[in-house]
């Protein structure tokens, strides 16, 4: 058998399984940081502005906190809560992948597929 690798994704959800943050929302927040614009973020991610805004609003409702400030003149930027959410999600991903890789190696080591 050829070499294997593990792909793993994490979503943080509320009690009703509504997504708080996952890869998609993480990308949105990272893009807002780099572009300073929700409109540019939507274009870069090939999404409608309404879809991007809807995902932000859904997360804000679930958290009962604003994660994004928008201003026509100043653009868009993450609030303290938005930055903290993104930092915690990135930490979660990093730690989960390290543990997932450890478990994966213990189960799918090369020698485990050799004939007895």
Q: What pLDDT is attached to residue 110?
A: 61
Domains located in the chain, CATH noted: 21-113 (1.10.10.10)
Q: What pLDDT is attached to residue 2?
A: 57
Q: What pLDDT is attached to residue 4?
A: 78
pTM equals 0.86
- For residue 57, which phi and psi values (nearest 5 degrees)? -65, -40
Q: What pLDDT is attached to residue 1?
A: 46
pLDDT in tens, the chain (116 residues): 457 788 889 999 999 999 999 999 999 999 999 999 999 999 999 999 999 999 999 999 999 999 999 988 889 999 999 999 999 999 999 999 999 999 998 888 766 555 54
Q: d(Cα 28, Cα 43) in Å, to the nearest integer?
A: 11
Q: What pLDDT is attached to residue 114?
A: 59
Q: How far is CA 3 from the centre of its chain?
A: 27
């Amino acid at each position: 058998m050829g070499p294997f690798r593990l792909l793993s994704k994490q979503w943080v959800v509320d009690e009703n399984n509504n997504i708080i943050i996952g890869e998609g929302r993480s990308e949105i927040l990272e893009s807002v940081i780099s572009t300073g614009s929700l409109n540019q973020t939507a274009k870069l991610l090939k999404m409608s502005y309404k879809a991007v805004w809807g995902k932000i609003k859904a997360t804000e409702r679930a958290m009962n906190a604003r994660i994004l400030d928008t201003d026509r003149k100043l653009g868009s930027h993450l609030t303290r809560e938005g930055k903290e959410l993104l930092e915690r999600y990135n930490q979660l991903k990093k730690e989960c992948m390290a543990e997932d890789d450890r478990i994966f190696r213990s189960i799918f080591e090369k020698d485990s597929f050799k004939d007895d």
